[in-house]
């Protein structure tokens, strides 16, 4: 069913998740969980849990995995060990990951028209380093990782810039991204990689790549604005 968009105000900002939206790196994070817990009998349950909670901070997942799946103690030392090992596994792979088709072109074109942000569950310092090394350091108004959670980040950005939620768009590839957008009443566009099953409710508009994102924005009835 075609959605009515007549009441939409001008678009002020686009929030982008990173893994699976800007870079084709979502599967790298899945492989990292498979590798990190390779000696555990319940590794399949761990990987399934990660997939169902894509977009959630890895440290939240580590705690749940130890406490609820493995039934093992989880303290500061184990948190540091897992975090260090995970970061070492993914860093080089993410730096080498291809862009989602059309992502770099979109960032270059739309960065001059609207405010672009990265809102991700990756730890902030790691995320900012990757964004810089991929040559995107000047492309975004802000690059925000975890903590806090994505809903908190969205609320803070809306408040800081004085935008209404309806003046923004969040593009994500995980159900957690959609939930954060819904909590903040931010319009949401789901990215689903070709060949993969959508995690989103049927009502959520979906695209395969940034050609679809641009097509979606062309239907935005108000003028795309770079103001604010």
Read out DSSP for 92-149?
A: HHHHHPPBPTTHHHHHHHHTTTSEEEEEEEEEHHHHHHHHHHTT-TTT-SEEEEESS-
Q: What is the pLDDT of residue 157?
A: 98
Mean pLDDT taken over the chain? 93
Q: How far is CA 110 from CA 14, 23, 56, 116, in A?
A: 9, 17, 27, 8
Mean pLDDT computed over 162-175: 97
Q: Find, among 8, 4, 16, the residue nearest to 210 by Cα.
A: 16
CA distance 144 to 67: 28
Q: What is the pLDDT of residue 4?
A: 47
Going by the DSSP 8-state scheme, the letter that residue 66 receives in this structure is I
Per-residue pLDDT band at 125 (split at 50, 70, 90)? very high
The string over 29-58, giving b where at least 16 C-beta atoms fall within 10 Å of a residue's C-beta and e elsewhere, is beebbeebbeeeeebeebeebbeebbbbbb
Q: What is the pLDDT of residue 63?
A: 98
Owner of token pair 């408040």:
159
**Residues in a beta bridge with 93:** none
CA distance 84 to 196: 30
Q: Find, among 13, 8, 69, the residue nearest to 42 by Cα.
A: 69
Per-residue pLDDT band at 60 (split at 50, 70, 90)? very high
Cα 85 to its chain centre, rounded Å, is 21
CA distance 108 to 31: 30
Res. 2: pLDDT tops 80: no
Res. 108: pLDDT tops 50: yes
Q: What is the pLDDT of residue 85?
A: 98
pTM here is: 0.92
Res. 227: pLDDT tops 50: no
């Amino acid at each position: 069913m075609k959605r009515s968009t007549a009441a939409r105000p001008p678009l002020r900002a686009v929030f982008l998740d990173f893994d699976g939206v800007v870079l084709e790196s979502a599967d790298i994070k899945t492989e990292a969980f498979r590798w990190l817990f390779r000696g555990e009998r319940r590794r399949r349950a761990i990987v399934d849990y990660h997939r169902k909670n894509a977009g959630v901070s890895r440290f939240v997942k580590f705690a749940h995995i130890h406490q609820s799946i493995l039934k093992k103690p989880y303290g500061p030392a184990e948190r540091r060990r897992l975090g260090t090992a995970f970061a070492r596994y993914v860093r080089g792979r993410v730096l080498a990951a291809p862009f989602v088709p059309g992502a770099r072109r979109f960032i270059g074109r739309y960065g001059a028209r609207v405010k672009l942000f990265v809102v991700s569950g990756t730890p902030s310092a790691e995320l900012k380093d990757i964004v810089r090394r991929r040559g995107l350091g000047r492309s975004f108004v802000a690059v925000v990782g975890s903590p806090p959670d994505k809903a908190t980040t969205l609320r803070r950005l809306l408040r800081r810039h004085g935008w209404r939620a309806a003046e923004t768009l969040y593009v994500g590839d995980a159900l957690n991204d959609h939930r954060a957008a819904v909590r903040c009443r931010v319009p949401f566009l789901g990215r689903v990689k070709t060949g993969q099953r959508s995690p989103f409710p049927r009502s959520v508009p979906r695209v395969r790549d940034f050609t679809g994102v641009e097509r979606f924005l062309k239907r935005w009835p108000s003028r795309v604005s770079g103001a604010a």
